[in-house]
Chain A
Amino acid sequence: SAVISQKPSRDICQRGTSLTIQCQVDSQVTMMFWYRQQPGQSLTLIATANQGSEATYESGFVIDKFPISRPNLTFSTLTVSNLSPEDSSIYLCSAGQGGEKLFFGSGTQLSVL
């Protein structure tokens, strides 16, 4: 199974600033994804992080707000830009080879004041 390290684990940010979240996998993986979990809600897919090319965003999520990088097969970053209180959520990185096992990082708890 893949071990996924995500940091920071939590942060408190001011309105209008940005937060970059890092996701490091201990082995090369085909698939990497970023999810958002708003308070008391289920998980919603933000985008698929594509290695060496632009991420594929789900409906309702745009690159200007959630820029994503994936420079190689083990690492990805998600930036949440121009923060507002509505962005307060848990952000989770997921990775795997596709198919049977998709693993998650420990999540980043973001609070925006």
Chain B
Amino acid sequence: AQKITQTQPGMFVQEKEAVTLDCTYDTSDPSYGLFWYKQPSSGEMIFLIYQGSYDQQNATEGRYSLNFQKARKSANLVISASQLGDSAMYFCAMSAMDSSYKLIFGSGTRLLVRP
């Protein structure tokens, strides 16, 4: 069975600094995808970044990068140069690359950016 673990219920970061949000996963599937989503207080889920299990390089999307360590089964999100608007819940998720593409989510990390 697949499982996603986010061990940080809450994090603080100073504006303009970088922050790492942790995510570990467990799966027996040889092919899978890892996602990060941002959920502001409005409730919408905003796609941030994707990493495929066979991707050789770490994914990057603007200020977001995914530190993918396959042997450790970790997929940490790094946000550089934090902004006040980054304050939100962040969810790590995984999908099996079979035909289902169902997402399994971690419990989330609430990030607060201090001015």
Contacts and interface: CB of A to CB of B under 8 A. Distances in A.
Contact of B44 (A48, A96, A107): A107
Report the contact-size class of chain B (Cβ under 8 Å from the partner).
20 to 34
Contacts, number: 58
Given A42-B108, A109-B43, A102 B97 contact: no
A45 B47 CA distance: 17
Nearest to A97: B101
Interface residues of A, number: 26
Given A92-B45, A106-B44, A100 B50 contact: yes
Interface of B: 33, 35, 37, 42-47, 50, 52, 91, 93, 95, 97, 99-108
16 contacts: A35-B103, A42-B105, A42-B106, A42-B107, A43-B93, A43-B105, A44-B105, A99-B97, A100-B50, A101-B50, A102-B101, A104-B45, A104-B46, A106-B42, A107-B43, A107-B45
Interface of A: 1, 31, 33, 35, 37, 41-45, 48, 90, 92, 94, 96, 98-107, 109
